[in-house]
Structure 1
Amino acid sequence: MRASGILMPVFSLPGPFGIGTLGSEATAFVDFLAEAKQTYWQILPIGPTGYGDSPYQSFSAFAGNPYFIDFRLLAADGYLTAEELPAAQPVDTVDYGALYNQRPVLLKKAVDRLLAAPSPAYEAFCAAQSFWLEDYALFMAVKAEQGQAGLADWPDALRCREPEAIAAAKARLADQICYHKAVQFFFYTQWNALKAYANRKGVLLVGDIPIYVSPDSSDLWTHPELFQTDGQMHLTHVAGCPPDAFAADGQLWGNPLYDWPTHKASGFGWWKQRMKHATSIYDVVRIDHFRGFESYYSIPAGSTTAAGGHWEKGPDRDFIHAMQQALGGGNIIAEDLGYLTPEVKDMLTESGYPGMKIMQFAFDSRESGNYLPHTYPRNSVVYTGTHDNVTTEGWRSNASAEDVAYACRYLRCTPETLTEGMICACLASVSDTAIIPLADWLHLGSEARINTPSTQGANWRWRLTQPLPAALAGHIAALTTLYERVPEKR
């Protein structure tokens, strides 16, 4: 099925609360997608953001981001009063520090009202999600008690989950544990309502899960046996990727690496649980760094760069077969970018999952892979760029003159029309799915970049600060129709 969609993070939506939320602006964007004849809305991970405000460094692989909870929806459900709603803020880039200080004040008021008379829906949610919710709520409560210190800096008894210390913490922090459980109920109530609304409009949500969990997460804390640790919750090796033309020292992510033999011995039970959860809250799941299942880059813990790492064998087809057994064959996108060996390509082929193609890479002389559109297979998802790339207008402004000239020769366009040329090439390609970042449809420059890998301080902050042009939905719909990406069901 030929189809298309738009990449737009939830946090980038407009709205009055300092960050995009799951409220009216989200449903309005769904309406825009439907009018533009789009099939997919692709977002970034929706977990609670941790180190560097990155959605790829979350406190939990299962929890939702409290920042995305819409206060107006809480008021509509009776958990806040109209007088308690904060004054509207001008739409600007996300200030995570302000959110950290301001959000819990109002959420606590809503939680208190919920817990004063817990609803059957809340009780049912806690029961259904108990496999992760209890541990996550305790983790967050202990983390707050420890002054938000990272897991590695907790007292030994708590870090290593000594039974007496855990029992005492559960008793001591009971109120805080209930708070975090209630906040997750609010998040998932609003998330499920948004997903249902999108699906009724014919829009499918494409979620995104990082392959790795954060070193400061309830996942590592509650399942240390699944990761490469020294038995005292200290990491022995961490994740990253090797040096290349884009990063001379490589990328040092610092995430815990999996103990794959232990996962295999358990039948990949934790991963099956994670993927079943993901496929229950998304219509399609993009797995970040998919090549890491075939082999992964291992860096000794304590390294200052990724240059001293080495490759280790991953679970490969054993993992693929386990996921197919648990989930069936479809609704997965494999992020297969980076250094791809024949073994990685064979694994992807056997999985049947579509890989990703990045149009910008086709014309970037630093990229050694072949991303020219005439080489794409049908079973692929093509993007002009992703959240890790500069916008296409930004690429045009920053790429070498030779690279821009090459792109224009290939796409038969001028530098001034290069963004539209790349969009049309994506839509015209044989790839079954084309995903275009909203910033490219708006022809925005580098100021709209979402993330620059291996940097900190200015990422994950971009928001849509101006109303969408009135004619944009029609323009997108016309091109989507021209390149036959409107599914028959529409």
Structure 2
Amino acid sequence: MKIRRSGILLHITSLPSPYGIGDLGPWAYKFVDFLFETKQGFWQVLPLNPTDPAYDNSPYHSISALASNSLLISPELMVQEGLLNKTDIEPLPPFPKGKVDYDTVIAYKKRLFHLAYERFKKKKNYDYQRFCSENGYWLEDFSLFVSLKTHFQGKVWSKWPPEIRDRQPEVLLSLKRELQDRIEQEKFLQYIFYKQWLSLKDYCHQKNIHIIGDMPIYVDYDSVDVWANPEIFKLDSEKKPYVVAGVPPDYFSETGQRWGNPVYKWEVLKETGYAWWIQRMGRALKLYDVVRIDHFRGFVGYWEIPASEKTAIKGRWLDGPGEDFFKVMLKRFPCLPIIAEDLGVITPDVRELVSRFQFPGMKLLIFAFGPDLPTNPYIPHNYTQNCVVYTGTHDNNTIKGWFEKEITPEDKKRLLQYLGHQVSGEEIHWELIRLAMMSVANTVILPMQDVLGLGKEARMNRPATTSGNWRWRFLPEQLTPEVTRRLLEMTKTYGRAS
């Protein structure tokens, strides 16, 4: 990532599609064509793991760190493959425009997937058998776990009968026979997703576009990862976490953040040569060209909170695996294309690790205009080349929404002084895009909402809220020739043309 490049942050769910949610079908390819036309080098997506309605379908809460979200499978591509008939996908439910209605999408696609699987299982497919064999190390446990979740009406795995909770081999073998058809359908959906995704990834590469994927450092407790690997997490005798992850109190929150994820037993992972993490990273590098690791600082030091605590106040700092972890990773993956999410309060030891392995960190323009402006690490004149600049992320308001509703009068004054001229709310997104593009940073990633100049209604996520997130989608008519022209012009002007 040492060449000057730029790209767009847009999750698959946010693409246009007639089927209620963005998918891997025709509009994904049209979006790649837009990236190519505007000479972008990267497409960044959020985690592709399965989502859960219990967590508002957040891509950062998943039952599996290695499986993929079958809701992103394209019905149109399934028709092309002969897995569905055109009549199967019609009539369409009344999907809303510009947002995802997950309940309707899940019910609609569940019906399609059943039809497609019934048709598929009547044929011999050696490619599918090879996929199952190559991915058995995660696919077997995942497909069984999903089937058991359905079988036990969605109960947390620790509340399953003890012999299933504790994975007694003869019991699991019996369950695999009993639930065989359901298990095979889950494997089939993972196969179809992977096939459609690899086709899209190949199309990106033909256009010289690389995919940046997102990897949360922690996994959910109610996941196949913890059920199948309890020995690498801090769990009690009943397989429940006695400590959980989070971050301490800071200027964002007086009580800190209690995320609730189980914490790794890093000493156990080290004894295995970080085997589970190597599998996870290997899987990610099959899906993506570059991996952004969320909460990177957790590898250096992490905040551990007693599970009985309702806030993050009474936690403690413990050392992560640090340098040893990445030395082992680099032996397995000599070229380790990582972006370190190093936002917030970052200590010198974290900066030292990032610098030692030359991982690019992140810079957010939306954070740049506080009272410490001359020395602020997010202001462009303080950037180094080896960083990735964002106007904002999925967790922030859009630039337009921020400028109109959130920025303080003092910060706005500093922003306008830095720009050197007055600017309207209608043009502010292009002004910040220009600041990012003209910086010395090797890489610039722009949220699609900022490229389109959309307001707060297009925000993807509001942290600390539990409903109404992850729904935004752009409309085809918003991608105007003027947007394409201006993005191309700026990309070429500042030497970022792919």
TM-score by length of 1: 0.96
Answer whether contact 1:252 1:454 (CA < 8 A) is retained: no
**Counterparts of 2:124 and 2:269 in 1: how far apart (Å)?**
37
Answer whether contact 2:158 2:238 (CA < 8 A) is retained: no
Q: Cα offset for 1:330? A: 4.1
| Identical positions, percent | 42
1:81 to 78, 85, 89: 85
1:289 to 283, 286, 295: 295
**Counterparts of 1:308 and 1:117 in 2: how far apart (Å)?**
57
Q: Per the alignment, do residues 77 and 131 of structure 1 end up closer, same or farther by CA in structure 2, a change over 3 Å counting?
A: same
**Counterparts of 2:97 and 2:203 in 1: how far apart (Å)?**
24
**Counterparts of 2:282 and 2:423 in 1: how far apart (Å)?**
45
**Counterparts of 1:439 and 1:446 in 2: how far apart (Å)?**
9
Answer whether contact 2:56 2:468 (CA < 8 A) is retained: no
SS in 1 for 2:220: coil
Q: 1:418 — aligned with what?
A: 428
Q: 1:474 — aligned with what?
A: 485
**Counterparts of 1:419 and 1:291 in 2: how far apart (Å)?**
30
**Counterparts of 2:369 and 2:8 in 1: how far apart (Å)?**
22
Q: 2:445 — aligned with what?
A: 435
Answer whether contact 1:413 1:421 (CA < 8 A) is retained: no
Q: Per the alignment, do residues 300 and 196 of structure 1 end up closer, same or farther by CA in structure 2, a change over 3 Å counting?
A: same
Q: 1:452 — aligned with what?
A: 462
Q: 2:494 — aligned with what?
A: 483
Q: 1:226 — aligned with what?
A: 232
1:245 to 224, 241, 251: 251
**Counterparts of 2:315 and 2:418 in 1: how far apart (Å)?**
38
1:16 aligns with 2:18: yes
**Counterparts of 2:27 and 2:223 in 1: how far apart (Å)?**
30
The range that moved more, 223-232 or 244-253, is 244-253
Q: Cα offset for 1:366? A: 10
Answer whether contact 2:437 2:494 (CA < 8 A) is retained: yes
Structure 1, gaps ≥5 residues long = none
**Counterparts of 1:344 and 1:68 in 2: how far apart (Å)?**
35
- Aligned residue type for 2:396: N
Cα offsets for 1:142-169 (capped at 9, x unmatched): 0001111222332322222123432222
Answer whether contact 1:58 1:217 (CA < 8 A) is retained: yes
Q: Per the alignment, do residues 97 and 370 of structure 1 end up closer, same or farther by CA in structure 2, a change over 3 Å counting?
A: same
The range that moved more, 424-433 or 164-173, is 164-173
**Counterparts of 2:186 and 2:415 in 1: how far apart (Å)?**
50
Q: Per the alignment, do residues 113 and 364 of structure 1 end up closer, same or farther by CA in structure 2, a change over 3 Å counting?
A: farther
Answer whether contact 2:363 2:377 (CA < 8 A) is retained: no
SS in 2 for 1:116: coil
1:387 to 383, 394, 409: 394
SS in 1 for 2:56: helix
Q: Per the alignment, do residues 163 and 474 of structure 1 end up closer, same or farther by CA in structure 2, a change over 3 Å counting?
A: same
**Counterparts of 1:104 and 1:395 in 2: how far apart (Å)?**
38
1:71 aligns with 2:75: yes
Where do residues 260-271 of structure 1 align in structure 2 (5 Å cutoff)? 260-271=266-277
Cα offsets for 1:245-265 (capped at 9, x unmatched): 223322222111111001111
Counting matched residue pairs gives 487
Cα offsets for 1:29-74 (capped at 9, x unmatched): 0000000110000010001012231111111111110100011111
Q: Per the alignment, do residues 366 and 214 of structure 1 end up closer, same or farther by CA in structure 2, a change over 3 Å counting?
A: farther
2:338 to 332, 335, 354: 332
1:210 to 216, 220, 225: 216
Q: Cα offset for 1:95? A: 1.6
1:186 to 181, 185, 192: 192
Q: Per the alignment, do residues 247 and 394 of structure 1 end up closer, same or farther by CA in structure 2, a change over 3 Å counting?
A: farther
Q: Per the alignment, do residues 302 and 204 of structure 1 end up closer, same or farther by CA in structure 2, a change over 3 Å counting?
A: same
CA RMSD after TM alignment: 1.6
Answer whether contact 1:61 1:213 (CA < 8 A) is retained: yes
Q: Cα offset for 1:415? A: 4.3
The range that moved more, 441-450 or 412-421, is 412-421
